[in-house]
């Protein structure tokens, strides 16, 4: 969960470190039907895992539970399900799965989370490893034409690109939004736009971040871009330009959105409800803006 310390934004990256692997070395072996992915479409970190699950064709292998977009400080809740209860796990709050595993769990209740269905225990909420392992550890269950999200020939460069996207863009918008002083905000703003200008230039001569094919790097960038004009531009004060005013990034984002795994799992109403309602320290009125019009995401992108 994000927090502000000494006026600078920090992200708590201390997650449950267990992984679901082929060899089950952490006690959690790959097994179709054994686990449920809990991931809110409002959350960019969680939406990554939903997109990857669909790209790889794992929908019938790992079930999906989707908490609602608004929650209290205690837990994500299953407001979208009948009776406010997840229909598979039978719980109203994701916190229940965390405390089934670790009583009085002391940290934030975050999504995405992988939960073992039979025991009702959370396995992990370590979001970068969840998507990594959906590709590498669940490979025997991918659909035949699944994309190679971690190509060997560009792996080293891709790791560098993803690190910069994470620190400067994914986290960069939060660094702006939660800055506690003008000085912290100004520094965060400069870092964010330096990175976005770099991405705009990078995408001038390639369709995707690593070339002609979608990789994990694109998934990680997309979830921030999808929220940019709807949330980050105004709510987080990232307002030098809108995404729609950056030709390469905007066309690239539309290209991804118009592919089912991305567009199917981008819910602008949930996104806006989450940020503008839950983050009442930034938006104390709780008013949720009506725009922008999502129809523009379906305009031709010209990047084929």
Residues carrying an active site annotation: 43, 174
Q: What is the DSSP code (8-state) at residue 75?
A: -
Burial of 293 (0-12, 13-18, 19+ CB in 10 A): exposed
What are the DSSP calls for 16-59, one per residue? -----BTT-TTS-B--TTSEEEE--TT-HHHHHHHHHHHHTT-T
Which pairing describes strands 113-116 and 35-38: parallel, antiparallel, or unpaired?
antiparallel
6: alpha, beta or left, given left = phi > 0 and alpha = psi -120 to 50? left
Contacts of 205 (CB under 8 A, 6+ apart): none
Total residues found in the chain within this entry = 304
Other C-beta atoms within 10 Å of 51: how many? 27
The structure tokens listed for 56 are 């790889």
Q: How far apart are CA 36 and CA 46, in angstroms?
A: 13
Other C-beta atoms within 10 Å of 185: how many? 20
Q: How far apart are CA 172 and CA 247, in angstroms?
A: 21
> First and final CA of the chain: distance in angstroms?
38
Q: Which residue has the tokens 């949930």?
A: 270
């Amino acid at each position: 969960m994000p927090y502000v310390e000494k006026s600078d934004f920090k992200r708590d990256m201390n997650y449950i470190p267990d992984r679901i692997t082929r060899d089950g070395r952490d006690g959690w072996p790959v097994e179709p039907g054994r686990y449920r992915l809990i991931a809110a479409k409002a959350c960019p970190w969680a939406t990554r895992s939903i997109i990857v699950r669909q790209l790889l064709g794992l929908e019938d292998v790992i079930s999906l539970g989707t908490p609602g977009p608004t929650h209290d400080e205690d837990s994500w809740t299953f407001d979208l399900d009948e009776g406010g209860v997840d229909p598979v796990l039978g719980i109203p709050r994701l916190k229940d799965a965390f405390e089934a595993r670790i009583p009085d769990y002391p940290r934030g209740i975050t999504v995405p989370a992988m939960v073992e269905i039979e025991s009702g225990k959370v396995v992990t909420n370590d979001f970068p490893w969840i998507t990594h392992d959906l590709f590498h550890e669940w490979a025997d269950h991918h659909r035949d034409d699944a994309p190679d999200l971690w190509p060997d020939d560009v792996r080293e460069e891709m790791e560098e690109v993803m690190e910069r996207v994470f620190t400067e863009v994914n986290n960069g918008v939060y660094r702006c939004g939660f800055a506690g002083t003008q000085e912290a905000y100004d520094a965060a703003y400069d870092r964010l736009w330096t990175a976005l200008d770099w991405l705009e230039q990078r995408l001038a001569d390639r369709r995707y971040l690593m070339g002609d094919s979608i990789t994990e790097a694109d998934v990680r960038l997309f979830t921030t871009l999808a929220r940019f004009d709807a949330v980050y531009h105004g709510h987080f004060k990232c307002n030098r330009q809108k995404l729609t005013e950056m030709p390469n990034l905007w066309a690239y984002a539309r290209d991804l959105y118009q592919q089912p795994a991305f567009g199917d799992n981008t819910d602008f109403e949930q996104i806006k409800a989450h940020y503008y309602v839950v983050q009442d320290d930034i938006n104390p009125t709780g008013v949720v803006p009506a725009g922008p019009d999502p129809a523009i995401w379906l305009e031709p992108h010209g990047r084929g």
